[in-house]
Structure 1
Amino acid sequence: MLVLREKDVQEVLKGLDPKEIKEFQVELASSLADYNKNPSLIPQRIVASTDAAVHLFMPSLGKNIGLKALTGSSHGFKGIVTLLDGDDGTPIGILNASTLTAFRTALATTLALSKTFKTDDDIDRKALTVFGSGPQAFWHVKLALILYPSVTTVIVVNRSQESGAKLVNDLKSEFQTVSYELHLLNEPEVYSKAVHRSSIIFGCIPSTEPAIKFKDLSTTSKTFIGLIGSYKPHMKEVDDETIDFLVSSNSKILIDSYEHTKHEAGELQSVDTKYLIELGEIWETDSFSIESVNNTPVVLSKIVGLSIMDVSVGADILSRASKLHIGINIDDF
């Protein structure tokens, strides 16, 4: 059995190139396609509360068998992903879930992004705006910059100047040729202009008041919006006008799960399922065109996160770690 600490997971993911990201995408898309055909691959999760924390246990029965265990407390979210042999239950590996969770969520967003902008040349406005400053924001921007090197400007919009500056510095250490801007969330008159000139917009902030507004979007050239921050029915990252614009034009919103989205995505609570489409469905064919399901220049993706994503991407990371001799090997577990 192989054990991957947080630093081990980060080591495996260090120095990713477009080819490796696409390899990860294929594995993740395959698991989501299996889930699309058979939603029972994700059994109902167990949620239990104690005085100090909330504990979640989320199994997955896809090609890779495993479980994500997560605890949310005043110290944030911490947990592990375990993988088992599907035939006899022999433990295969355990991974720290922190970086894995951020990476697999950003990877899922890139499944939608890659269908929106198939090549780097498809992006005409070379700016990217991200709302948020945590690991999710970092990985969303990092993967986008690797896949689309023509992006020249990253705009960070955040509640806190300090944590926003940290994200900018972390990104600068890896992408020195990109220019960066930092704006505060309480300055909408400033960041609205940044949103308008961005081809790619990521929402990575849990919020009850939408920061991404239709009036700020460019509707004359293609704009991709990837949302992952809000995770409860009363939370919204994008305003109702944006949703109404997409629905009224008979366009589909890209999601990871019909069932879980309706429970967790505040933006989509009133949206009929006929205006949603799962990523696992659109990735089943290489010939899929975003224009076949979207009649506007605005493309919206909402990822709520699924255990099958953790387990499939975790299995891929575990396999790579084994080949690179990274992690702690326990022979007689």
Structure 2
Amino acid sequence: MNTIQLISDSFIENNCNFKLLIDRLKDGFANPSIEVPMRHHHDYPNPPEDKDSTLLLMPAFNPGVDAGVKIVTASPNNGNYNLPAIQGTYIYLDAHKGNVKAILDGKSLTTKRTASTSALASSYLSRENASSLLMIGTGALAKNLIQAHATVRPITKVYVWGRSLEKAQAVCDELSNASYSCIAITNIEDKISEVDIISCATLSPTPIVFGKWLKEGQHLDLVGAYKKDMREADDEAVLKSSVFLDTYQGGIKESGDIVIPLNNGTLNIEDIKADLFELCTGSKKGRTSEKEITYFKSVGHALEDLVAASYFYSEFISKK
């Protein structure tokens, strides 16, 4: 019987080459063989917190090759317990024989694939000479988003904002040896109009990025706001931008950054320019001018998890 490999967060953290993972994701989104059912999204009561938690089940299949499912919980108040808001496990399978090949700790798998997906989108949507980045949010994704964006664009300056300046500084401290400078800031408005890329990964229920601050040529990368009643950018930001999604399947149904403007008439489905499947296959274009403001909304997709699990499994086996 084949041994089930246990792949830890520490292995994933120490063995991620963002360029390789971004390239693998690009190939994955261009691969018509990979099948991805709509993920299960269940909000359930969490009485001790008086706020719902969420259970996500995310399957994907590459027939005859591999398959997998991620089991994720999201508990927004976990910061009170010094725990991540999002926790999960990935079960990686042989799609031919059905045996479990590996169990991967889901936290780092999710942060690496999410950050790499944003960078993949940025490679189509941000300006090629984009050199400055504002990171809004200080959770587990922040450092990874910065590193991934810097893989596809010549980033030289990074600014980090969070509700806690101490946490923003901690993100910068982790990146003290990077090739770019990293500065913690206390006010979003001070820098948002100056940077080329704005990446936002928060659990904010209301907008914290306002269209009135945006300037020509910027790229807006929205990764948080994973529920229909949450959003990180306002309607004016939508109106000023060309809107793109990771996938239509989840993007138009799951996040308030798209659902709310669709419901109030600010955005129509036909206004959405493309998703990552269309960008990676070349059937639709990304940025078309230097002055265009691009707006990318990511809600996550099981294809990303399967591709990332395959990548880290290969790395793990090669190093045994």
Q: TM-score range by the shorter chain?
A: 0.7 to 0.9
Change (3 A) 1:114 1:232: same
1:209 is aligned, of 206, 209, 212, to 206
Moved more, 69-78 or 102-111: 69-78
Cα deviation digits, residues 30-59 of structure 1 (max 9, x gap):
33344xx68962244263747676543221
**Contact 2:35-2:62 within 8 A present in 1 as well:** no
Structure 2, unpaired ranges of 5+: none
2:40 paired with 1:45:
yes
Work out which structure has the larger RCO, using CA pairs closer than 8 Å and 6 or more positions apart in sequence.
1
- Within the candidate set 88, 92, 95, 2:101 is matched to 92
Aligned position for 1:226: 221
The one-letter code matched in structure 2 to 1:10 is E
Counterpart in the other structure of 2:137: 132
Answering whether residue 157 of structure 2 is matched by residue 144 of structure 1, we say no
Gaps of 5+ in 1: 326-333
Determine if contact 2:240/2:293 at 8 Å carries over to the other structure: no
Output the CA distance in 1 between the equivalents of 2:199 and 2:268: 23
> How far has the Cα of 1:196 moved from its partner?
1.0
Question: What is the match of residue 57 of structure 1?
Answer: 57
The answer to whether 1:112 aligns with 2:109 is: no
Quick check: 1:82–1:93 contact (8 Å CA) kept in 2? yes
Q: Residue 257 of structure 1 is aligned with which of 244, 247, 255? A: 247
Partner of 2:5: 2
Supply the distance in 2 between the matched residues of 1:228 and 1:48 (Cα, whole angstroms): 19
Q: 1:112 to 1:212 in 2, by over 3 A?
A: same
User: 1:243 and 1:23 mapped to 2: Cα distance?
Assistant: 32
Relative distance call for 1:30 and 1:225 in structure 2 (3 A) is same
Output one character per residue of 1:155-196: Cα deviation in whole Å (capped at 9) or x when no partner: 111111221121111111x31x53332223xx4xxx323111
Give, in whole Å, the separation in 1 of the partners of 2:127 and 2:163: 32
- State the percentage of identical aligned residues: 22
Structure 1 residue corresponding to 2:257, chosen from 238, 242, 267: 267
The CA deviation at 1:274 is 1.5
1:41 match: secondary structure:
coil
2:286 to 285, 290, 300: 290
Task: Check the 8 A contact 2:39/2:57 in 1, yes or no.
Answer: no
Change (3 A) 1:26 1:178: closer
Q: How far 1:116 moved relative to its partner?
A: 2.7
- How far 1:217 sits from its partner (Å)? 1.6
AA in 2 matched with 1:268: I
Query: In structure 2, how many angstroms separate the alpha carbons of the residues matched to 1:284 and 1:154?
Result: 31
TM-align CA RMSD = 2.5
Instruction: Work out the CA distance in 2 between the residues paired with 1:48 and 1:268.
Output: 19
* Counterpart AA for 1:78: Q
Q: For 1:322 and 1:315, how far apart are their aligned partners in 2?
A: 11
In structure 2, the partner of 1:330 is none
- TM-score (norm. length: structure 2): 0.84
**Is 2:231 the counterpart of 1:236?**
yes
SS at match of 1:196: coil
Q: Which residue is 1:69 aligned to?
A: 71
Task: Pick from 146, 153, 156 the counterpart of residue 157 of structure 2.
Answer: 153
Give the equivalent residue in structure 1 for 2:185.
Answer: 183
1:301 aligns with 2:296: yes
Contact 2:33 2:62 in 1 (8 A): no
**In structure 2, what is the equivalent of residue 79 of structure 1?**
88
TM-score, normalized by length of structure 1? 0.81
